[in-house]
Amino acid sequence: MTGTYAPGPESFVPLPQAALHILLAIGPEERHGYAIMGEVERITGNAVRMGPGTLYGTIKRLLESGLIEECGERADPHRSDQRRRYYRVSALGRRVVASEVERLQSMIRLAGARTWAAKGQS
């Protein structure tokens, strides 16, 4: 009997920085590319500005890996003639983000437990 292999969230960790930013920017909503770029800037306090090449290349990889899903096209309410593709984080994507956040928190705890001061050493 052969079954299909479903990768666990740990197989995606660590996530590339751009992928994590996009997943966090989409969050629990459905967003189109331009809105994702804006949300990345907002949640990082403008520390990260994602260009279209990085954004759409990463979106393509996230779609292929099943971490996000396309919700279809919708008319942009701010532009009468353009349609935009919307994306949402999949159930697997949510598990991967949770796993990545746990990994990062563990690293922060480890770093906090270390004494980085020189303590009299030169």
Distance (Å) of CA 88 to CA 7, 30, 100, 117, 122: 19, 5, 18, 44, 52
Tally of domains in the chain: 1
**Rg for the chain, CA atoms, rounded:** 18
CATH number of the domain that residue 57 is part of: 1.10.10.10
Structure tokens given for 100? 């990545």
**Residue 121: inside a domain:** no
Give the mean model confidence (pLDDT) for residues 82-103.
94
With respect to residue 116, please indicate whether it lies within any of the assigned structural domains: no
Asked if the model's pLDDT at residue 56 lies above 90, the reply is yes
- The pLDDT of 27-47, averaged and rounded, is 96
Q: How far is residue 54's CA from residue 50's CA, in Å, rounded to a whole number?
A: 6
Domain boundaries, position 35:
10-111
pLDDT for 118: 46
User: How many residues comprise the chain?
Assistant: 122
Give domain status of residue 64, yes or no. Answer: yes
